[in-house]
Amino acid sequence: MSQVVIEARGVNKVFGRTGPSPVEALRDISLSVAPGEFVSLIGPSGCGKSTLLRLIGDLVAPSSGTLQINGKEPHQARLDRDYGMVFQRATLLDWRTVGKNVELPLEVMGSDDRQARARQMLELVQLGDFEHHYPWQLSGGMQQRVAIARALSFRPSLLLMDEPFGALDEMTRELMQQEVLRIWRETETTVVFVTHSIPEAVFLSTRVFVMSPRPGRISDVIDVPLSHPRDEDTRESADYYEKITEVREALRRQERP
Amino acid sequence: MSHHDDAERDIDILETHETDPITAFEGDLPVGTSTPSALRRKLIQYAPAIALFFIVLVAWESLTRLLGVESFLLPKPTEIAEKLADNTGIIWAAAVNTLIEAIGGFVVGVLLGITVALATVRWAAAREGLMPFAIAANSVPIIAVAPITNAMFSLTSPVSKMAVVAIVVFFPVMINTARGLTEVDPAELELMRSYASHPRTVLTRVRIPNALPYFFSSLKVASALSIIAAIVAEYFGGPQDVLGQYIVSKAQLFLFPDAWAAIVVASAIGIAFYGLILLAERVFMPWHISFRAADDR
C-alpha cells in the first residue's frame, strides 16, 4: 500500500456547469489521508462534505483538480473494490436476510467462503445471532451495524461513512461510535466519516477537517491526539471538551464574513 | 418500491448492543407460520366476511321470495344452485374450455409483458418511446378488439380468445413490471456501483427482486382480467362448449337461473385464480411487508 490512501490537490466540483445556474459545491480542496487514519469531515449542511465523500468514492466526478486513492484514479480504485460505503440509511435489501445482505458484495465479487466470512463480520459487529433475521426485524442501530459489516466484508482499504448515525437516537449513537472505533482498531481500515455532530467528530477522529459552505472549502484541520482506546471516560475528559471547543470555534469563525 | 415507515423501523427492540437473543422475536420468523393459534386468528379475521356472505345470501333468498321477484330479473339463490346441480357436467366442461383460453392467453400476455419490461430497463429509448403508448393503451377498453381477433384467428379456434386475453393481460403486467424494475432506491444502486457491479448483477440482485411486488400486484389484476376477457370474447361467437356461449344461449332462451349458474362458476374460477396468485406471491416473496405477522410489525 502506498504511503497515502487519499491524496487531493486543488479539487473543484461544480454541479450543472453547462446549465443556467451552476452550483459551486467544492473549491480548491486539498488533503491527504494516511493509512489507518480516522478522519471526519464536519461542517454545516450545504458545505459539500457529502459531495467530497462521494468524489472520493467515485460516485461523482470532480470538475477539476487531481484526486488519487491508493495512488490510483478513484474510478480505478472503485473497480479494484477499494471502498466500503455506509450511508445514512442502512440500505439493506428487504428481500435478503441479514446474513445474505452481508454476503451481497462477496457474491457480486465472486468470493469464496461467503457464508463463513459473513458470519465472521456479523460477529465483529456483535450480531452473530441475527444471521437469519430479516432487516425489518432489527432496530435502526442494528441495521446500521449490518451495513457496516457488509461494507467491511470484502476487506476494503478505505471505509467511507456518510452520516451513518444521523438517524439514531443519542444513546444508540454513542454505543455505535464506540463500536466503530473498536472495529476500526481491529481491522486497521482507513475511515472517512461525514458528520454534522461536533462531539461525534472529536470522539471518533484522529483528525477533523472543518468545512465552510458556499462554496465548500476546508477551513481548518484539527488534530485530535486523544489516546486510544477511547471510551466513556474519554467523553468526560477535559482534553475532549477542549477539542470540542476548538472545533466549535473553528465552525463559528466561518459565520463571520 | 414501498419503503416501510422509518418510524416503524426505528422502534428500538434492542437499546443495548449485547448479543442476547431478543425475546420479542421468540424465534418466530414471518415465513409460513401456520401454528394452530395463527389458524384461529385467521378464522377470526375472516369471520365478518364469511358472516356477511351468508347474510347477503339469506337476504337475497328471502327478499326474492317475499317480493315475488321474477326469475328473469333476479333468480333465487336456491334456484341457481338447483340449475348448477342439474348441469354440473356441461357447465364444468364449458368452464374447463374457458379456463384453457384464459390461462393460455394469460401466460402469453405475462411472458410478453415481462420481456418488454426487461427491454425498457435495458434500452432507455424503449422506455421513453413505448411507455406513454402503453399507459394510454392500458386505459382504453381493449376488450373491444375481441370481434377483430375472432376474425383474425379462426373463430372456432381457442387461439382467437387467447389473443384477446393476451392483449388485455399484457399492458398492466408490462407497465407495472417496468415500473418495479426502474423505480429502485437510488441508494441501492449506488451501493451496487460501489461494488463495481455489472449491470446484469444489478438486474438480478436488485432490480428483479424490487420488481416482484409490482409484478405480483399486476398479476392479481391480470388474473381477473383474463377470465373477463375470455368470456367476453366468447360472447362474440365460436364453439358452444364454453362459459360465455353457455351464458348467452341460456339468456336468449330466458333460462336465467341457468345463465346465473354459469356466472357463479365463472366467478368461482376468477376467485380461485386470484387465490393461486396470492399463494405464488407468498412463496416467491415471503419477505414482503404485507406478510409480516401483525405482532411483529
pLDDT for B297:
41
Q: What is the number of residues in chain A?
A: 257
Largest CA distance in chain B: 76
Mean pLDDT across B7-29: 39
Residue A69 lies in a domain: yes
Mean pLDDT across B80-95: 90
pLDDT for B239:
86
Residue A172 lies in a domain: yes
Q: In this prediction, what percent of chain B has a pLDDT beyond 90?
A: 46
pLDDT for B273:
93
pLDDT for B294:
45
The residue type at B136: A
Determine, for residues A57 and B195 on separate chains, whether the beta-carbon distance falls below 8 Å.
no
pLDDT for B177:
94
pLDDT in tens, B257-279: 999 999 999 999 999 999 999 99
pLDDT in tens, A90-113: 999 999 999 999 999 999 988 888
How far is residue B170's CA from residue B205's CA, in Å, rounded to a whole number? 25
Mean pLDDT across B7-18: 38
pLDDT for A201:
93
Q: What's the whole-model pTM score?
A: 0.80
Residue B124: HSE in the Cβ half-sphere, 13 Å Cα cutoff: 0
DSSP string, B113-171: HHHHHHHHHH-HHHHHHHHHHHHHHHTS-GGGGHHHHHHHS-TTSHHHHHHHHHHHHHH
Instruction: Kindly tell me if the per-residue pLDDT of B21 is higher than 50.
Output: no
Residue A25 near residue A13, CB atoms below 8 Å: yes
Residue A149 lies in a domain: no
Residue A215 lies in a domain: yes
Binning pLDDT at 50, 70 and 90, where does residue B121 land? confident
pLDDT in tens, A182-231: 889 888 899 999 999 999 999 999 999 999 888 889 989 999 888 888 88
Determine, for residues A133 and B25 on separate chains, whether the beta-carbon distance falls below 8 Å.
yes
Sole residue written with cell 384477446:
B164
pLDDT in tens, B148-160: 877 788 777 888 8
Instruction: Kindly tell me if the per-residue pLDDT of B140 is higher than 80.
Output: no
Closest CA to A81 of A151, A9, A10, A148: A151
Selecting from A91, A96, A126 the residue whose C-beta is nearest the C-beta of B185 gives A91
How far is residue A164's CA from residue B44's CA, in Å, rounded to a whole number? 43
pLDDT in tens, B100-115: 999 999 999 999 999 9
Residue A185 lies in a domain: yes
Binning pLDDT at 50, 70 and 90, where does residue B118 land? very high
DSSP-derived 3-state class of residue B101: helix
**How close does chain B come to A222, measured CA to CA in Å?**
29
Question: CB of A81 within 8 Å of any CB in chain B?
Answer: yes
pLDDT in tens, B182-220: 999 999 999 999 998 999 999 999 999 999 999 999 999
Report A:187-246 residues touching B (Cβ under 8 A). Answer: none
How far is residue A157's CA from residue A138's CA, in Å, rounded to a whole number? 28
DSSP string, B14-63: -SS---PPPTTTTT--STT---HHHHHHHHHHHHHHHHHHHHHHHHHHHH
Which grid cell sits at A30? 486539498
How far is residue B155's CA from residue B146's CA, in Å, rounded to a whole number? 10
Q: Most B CBs within 10 Å: which of A82, A83, A95, A161, as the mutation test of the B interface?
A: A95
Q: How many domains does chain A have?
A: 1
Residue A57 lies in a domain: yes
pLDDT for A257:
52
pLDDT in tens, B31-79: 444 556 778 888 888 888 899 999 999 999 999 889 888 877 888 888 8
Closest CA to A160 of A254, A74, A256, A99: A74
Closest CA to A105 of B190, B192, B189, B200: B192
Instruction: Kindly tell me if the per-residue pLDDT of B8 is higher than 70.
Output: no
How far is residue A230's CA from residue A184's CA, in Å, rounded to a whole number? 12
The ranges of chain A with pLDDT < 50 are 1
How far is residue A124's CA from residue B161's CA, in Å, rounded to a whole number? 60
Domain range holding A250?
6-82+156-255
Residue A97 lies in a domain: no
Residue A232 near residue A183, CB atoms below 8 Å: no
Determine, for residues B12 and A138 on separate chains, whether the beta-carbon distance falls below 8 Å.
no
DSSP-derived 3-state class of residue A125: coil
Selecting from A94, A126, A139 the residue whose C-beta is nearest the C-beta of B19 gives A126
Question: CB of B295 within 8 Å of any CB in chain A?
Answer: no
Q: Please count the other Cβ atoms lying within 10 Å of the Cβ belonging to residue B250.
A: 20
Instruction: Kindly tell me if the per-residue pLDDT of B13 is higher than 70.
Output: no
Count interface pairs A-B at CB distance under 8 A. Answer: 97
pLDDT for B287:
79
Q: What is the ipTM of this complex?
A: 0.87
Q: What is the number of residues in chain B?
A: 297
DSSP string, B196-253: T--HHHHIIIIIHHHHHHHHHHHHHHHHHHHHHHHHHHHHT---SSSHHHHHHHHHHT
Question: CB of A15 within 8 Å of any CB in chain B?
Answer: no
Residue A188 sits in a domain whose CATH number is: 3.40.50.300
